[in-house]
Amino acid sequence: MDPRDIFEPEEVVGKAWHKWVTTIGAPEAHDDHAVALDEVSGRLAVLFRGLGGAGETEIRPVADESSGHRLGFLRRLGAEAESVPRASFDGAVLRLPARLAVFPAREANAALYLWLAALAAHAQPHDKNEDPLQRDLASLRATRAMISATVADAPGLAGLWRDLAAAHLEMRARPALPDGEAAIEALVRRTLGDPAPLPPLAEVFAELIEGGNLAAASAPRRYRPFAPVPLWPELRSLVFGDAEAVETRETDQPPEGTGDGEGPARKARRHRTDQAERKDSFILHKFEAMLSVAQFVNLNRRVEDDDEDGAKKAADDADEIGLGQLAKAPATRLRLHLDLAPEDADLEALSAKHVYPEWDVRRGVYLPAHARVIAAPVEAATDHAHAFDPRAEARIRAVRRQFEALR
Tens of pLDDT, residue by residue over 7-65, are 677 777 777 776 776 677 667 788 899 999 999 988 999 999 999 998 888 899 988 88
**Taking residues 80-88, what's their average pLDDT?**
84
Task: Give pLDDT tens digits for 144-196.
Answer: 999 999 999 999 999 999 999 999 999 998 888 999 999 999 999 999 999 99
Cα 142 from Cα 122, distance rounded (Å): 10
Do 301 and 284 form a contact (C-beta atoms < 8 A)?
no
Q: Which amino acid is at 75?
A: R
Task: Give pLDDT tens digits for 118-130.
Answer: 999 999 887 778 8
What proportion of the chain, given as a percentage, has pLDDT over 70? 66
Do 324 and 271 form a contact (C-beta atoms < 8 A)?
yes
H or E element in which residue 23 lies:
none
Do 221 and 229 form a contact (C-beta atoms < 8 A)?
no
**Taking residues 242-246, what's their average pLDDT?**
46
For residue 407, what is the DSSP state?
Answer: -
DSSP state letters, 325-342: --SSPPS------EE--G
Do 332 and 308 form a contact (C-beta atoms < 8 A)?
yes
Do 5 and 15 form a contact (C-beta atoms < 8 A)?
no
Torsion angle of the four alpha carbons 290, 291, 294, 296, in this order, in degrees rounded to the nearest 10: 30
pLDDT for 167 equals 95
Domain boundaries, the chain: 3-235, 239-345, 349-407
What CA–CA distances, in Å, run from 187 to 59, 124, 164, 193? 29, 21, 17, 10
Q: How far, in whole angstroms, is CA 389 from its chain's centroid? A: 51
Task: Give pLDDT tens digits for 289-335.
Answer: 445 555 565 555 555 555 666 666 666 666 667 666 666 656 566 66
Cα 146 from Cα 124, distance rounded (Å): 8
For residue 361, what is the DSSP state?
Answer: T
State if pTM tops 0.85.
no
Cα 78 from Cα 25, distance rounded (Å): 9
Do 283 and 302 form a contact (C-beta atoms < 8 A)?
yes
